């Protein structure tokens, strides 16, 4: 039974570091007149989604539209085609702290219009698993499909879930996504949190990684890729200190690498930065043991073997 798998590629959409003023109006993001003042909420550029034809846009939500684009980017990185990932041996899992705003929208429409105000498409979109379900249908992924909506560690929960599926031979590759979507009423909620703590910054993001069996990557000529294993060794917590993961010393992984809290996507954003930036060059092929803050109570650690491999920078 394999106990480590290849991270073949990663890509991320993170916002430009420009605070967006947020207020109470239904539009969520306003340029002036916000009754709560200006707060450090950083939003993604959704102009591509807004530019879609109305009929086409009707079957997407903002997260589902971006997820489809990012899967295509990921496939291009790895040399795969959509046909390569079709079928029952490919899975998809996402992690999010707050899920989809469409759930709230459905409740509002039910109160206003009753059951007749919700058609089949709206009902489907008003579920937390709609982005990955829509992507699974569009790309023909017939393996396990799951949306994890939990805490700030949701993206890391999704990563562990993907690892378990591979280890249990439920599939050969898994696309792991994490995202947050700053649509109302989440914007107002986060604005209140920023009001209580003016030094806090939150960012909208989406990140996706491809986890697969080493033989599949090797068959495409990809070598020296990062290997991921999930250990159950008990970790000793302690901010700013190296951590004991059971074998050798670990290094603290900063879940806010650019000073912005990406909520449920923070873990995978930090992992993407790690795979693409300085630590890759510094460590070469040396095993790098990572302590993930907040996971000590669950006893879960990540062990990454980092090798020089050009991935997409974001």
| pLDDT tens column, 255-312 | 776 778 999 999 899 888 888 764 445 544 455 666 555 444 455 556 665 554 444 5
The beta-strand segments (E) located in 104-162 are 145-149
Give the dihedral of Cα atoms 62, 68, 69, 72; nearest 10 deg.
Answer: 170
Please tell me what DSSP assigns to residue 230: E
DSSP per-residue string spanning 8-45: EEEEEE---S--B-B-SSTTSB-SS--TT----EE---
Domain boundaries, the chain: 5-223
CA 121/CA 313 separation, integer angstroms: 35
Enter the pTM of the model: 0.83
Q: Tens digits of per-residue pLDDT, 140-157?
A: 999 999 999 998 889 988
- CATH superfamily of this structure's domain 5-223: Thiolase/Chalcone synthase (3.40.47.10)
Question: Can you give the length of the chain in residues?
Answer: 314
């Amino acid at each position: 039974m394999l106990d480590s798998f290849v991270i073949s590629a990663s890509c991320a959409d993170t916002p430009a570091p420009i605070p967006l003023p947020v207020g109470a109006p239904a539009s969520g993001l306003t340029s002036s007149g916000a009754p709560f003042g200006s707060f450090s909420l950083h939003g993604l550029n959704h102009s591509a989604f807004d530019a879609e034809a109305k009929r086409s846009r009707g079957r997407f939500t903002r997260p589902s539209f971006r997820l489809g684009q990012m899967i295509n980017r990921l496939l291009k990185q790895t040399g795969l085609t959509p046909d390569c990932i079709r079928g029952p041996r490919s899975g998809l899992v996402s992690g999010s702290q707050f899920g989809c705003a469409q759930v709230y929208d459905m409740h509002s429409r039910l109160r206003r219009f009753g059951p007749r105000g919700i058609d089949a498409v709206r009902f489907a979109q008003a579920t937390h698993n709609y982005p990955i379900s829509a992507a699974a249908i569009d790309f023909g992924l017939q393996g396990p499909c799951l949306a994890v909506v939990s805490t700030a560690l949701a993206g890391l929960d999704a990563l562990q879930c993907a690892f378990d599926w591979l280890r249990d031979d439920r599939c050969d590759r898994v696309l792991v996504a994490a995202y947050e979507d700053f649509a109302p009423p989440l914007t107002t909620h986060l604005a209140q949190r920023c009001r209580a703590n003016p030094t806090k910054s939150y960012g909208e993001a989406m990140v996706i990684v491809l986890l697969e069996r080493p033989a599949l990557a090797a068959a495409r000529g990809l070598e020296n890729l990062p290997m991921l294993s999930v250990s159950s060794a008990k970790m000793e917590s302690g901010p700013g200190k190296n951590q004991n993961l059971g074998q050798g010393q670990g290094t603290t992984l900063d879940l806010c690498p650019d000073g912005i809290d990406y909520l449920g996507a923070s873990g995978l954003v930090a992992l993407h930065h790690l795979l693409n930036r300085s630590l890759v060059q510094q460590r070469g092929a040396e095993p790098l043991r990572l302590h993930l803050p907040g996971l000590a109570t669950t006893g879960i650690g990540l062990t990454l073997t980092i090798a020089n491999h050009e991935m997409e920078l974001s």
